[in-house]
Amino acid sequence: GIQVEQSPPDLILQEGANSTLRCNFSDSVNNLQWFHQNPWGQLINLFYIPSGTKQNGRLSATTVATERYSLLYISSSQTTDSGVYFCAVGYNNNNAGNMLTFGGGTRLMVKP
């Protein structure tokens, strides 16, 4: 099956700093999503980005499908950004919908 690797595994930032999280995947995909899991365990979808670039406030994401990687940028980090960031990929088809394979996550702690 498809392999998803995220880096770095852990990241500690001072509030206000910027960061880049990376996701590498081993096969062609037409579905790539970034999720934030907050300290209470809730999974929140940040981006659906199988290719191209998107921005939402202080967060932006870029996926280069031909080179099989995606980047999540967090600017001016806040303590509420703490948690685990997951990249998940898949190949949408009618037999399985948008079934996802998750990476191991990047654990982010933002200190005040």
Partner 1 sequence: NAGVTQTPKFRILKIGQSMTLQCAQDMNHNYMYWYRQDPGMGLKLIYYSVGAGITDKGEVPNGYNVSRSTTEYFPLRLELAAPSQTSVYFCASSPPLRTGYQETQYFGPGTRLLVL
Q: Is 3 exposed, middle or buried (CB count within 10 Å of its CB: 0-12, 13-18, 19+)?
A: exposed
According to the binding rule CB under 8 A, does residue 112 interact with partner 1?
A: no
According to the binding rule CB under 8 A, does residue 3 interact with partner 1?
A: no
Rounded least distance, CB 67 to partner 1, Å:
21
Stated as kind and residue range, the H or E segment containing 66 is none
Encoded one letter per residue, x for contact with partner 1 by CB under 8 A and - for no contact, window 25-44 reads: --------x-------xxx-
Q: Which tokens sit at 100?
A: 């996802």
The one among 88, 89, 108, 110 contacting partner 1 by CB under 8 A: 88
What are residue 83's DSSP bridge partners? 108
